[in-house]
Structure 1
């Protein structure tokens, strides 16, 4: 590489980051399916040809932007939850407070949540995106397990990730879908906690019936 090439390389790198930022802006404003190449280029302040140069296609750029946005959202939610949860509260109260914060994001980050659902549909036709989403889910399972157990992620047992973490992620996905399609009928944080307690009671009653 010649030193004279540096300005062009720096500009190219800047265009790539501008495209990611523009794509995330479009995802927030228009969602995945309705965002066009022209929308992204306009938001990023670069030419439409730059999308093909850096990412190959609109879909690849939107996929990268969506995954990056979800990562950023996860960190934002983590900070919000940490600030909302009272360390002196009981585990049940902390769990309910966590859900209250998550449910709020179904309104404040609605377009991003919808875009994530669209990405799941797109993954059916994109093995690369499917692998990226699967890797993100694996990280998510481990992360929520660590949060629930109060344990560092690298110390979380795999069995806990495959049980507690997987069920918590499934619950999150289900509540999200209900909130997006029927916000008035979706469960509140208190109802989620009550529902889990009711489920445990049913299971324990069934076990007691078997033991008797």
Structure 2
């Protein structure tokens, strides 16, 4: 790898080990083996490099969710939609349970967004593609087969659910829902049976 790639890999390591805001340019240099001047040459600034590292880490994490073993028996073309939904969220939840440094970095960045316009804009540009990728993952199709409306509506739903689960996993990891719990909740909400009975049938 060249210095540009080395710096990006070093910044991604620092993101996990030190967090977004606490990482310094010298930390990245130490982690990458590159020199201090190369940060400005290749990325313009340390902050620009950290933004790139954060987005790259998110993309890599999302792409690797499908590689988690287990629950694959339900992820077939013939499975019921809620079975597929439950199976894929079980894969995501496995990752949340074992990659707390990554999740902590995600939640840290959420708190920085109101005060960091450049970071907010960078993530905002990547957000639609992230929603598209989640829809493609859950449907088992290439990204190119996901239409814009599905990415906007369903992708936003998946992103909201994922963000909430990340936060919950840091606050109280011992009471996380399972994929089946999430599927059951979705079924009950859409059926009007949140309280265990059809809406309007109560006394």
- TM (norm. structure 2) is 0.81
Which structure is higher in helix share?
Answer: 1
Do residues 110 (structure 1) and 97 (structure 2) align?
no
Q: 1:35 deviation in Å?
A: 2.0
Please say if residues 31 and 112 of structure 1, whose CA atoms lie closer than 8 Å, have aligned partners that are also in contact.
no
**1:2-151 alignment runs, 5 A limit:** 14-80=2-68, 84-86=71-73, 87=76, 89-151=79-141
Unaligned runs of 5+ in 2: none
Work out which of the two has the higher radius of gyration on C-alpha atoms and give 1 or 2: 1
* Structure 1 residue 42: Cα displacement: 0.8
Compute the displacement of 1:110 (Å): 1.8
User: Which region of structure 1 is more displaced relative to structure 2, 155-164 or 30-39?
Assistant: 155-164
Aligned to 1:190: 180
What does the per-residue CA deviation read over 1:53-92, in whole Å, with 9 as the maximum and x for residues that have no partner? 33233222111111111111111113337x7523254332
Unpaired stretches in structure 1, ≥5 consecutive residues: 1-12
Cα RMSD, aligned residues only:
2.6
The structure, 1 or 2, with the larger RCO (C-alpha pairs under 8 Å, 6+ apart) is: 2
**Native 8 Å contact 1:106 1:180 kept in 2:** no
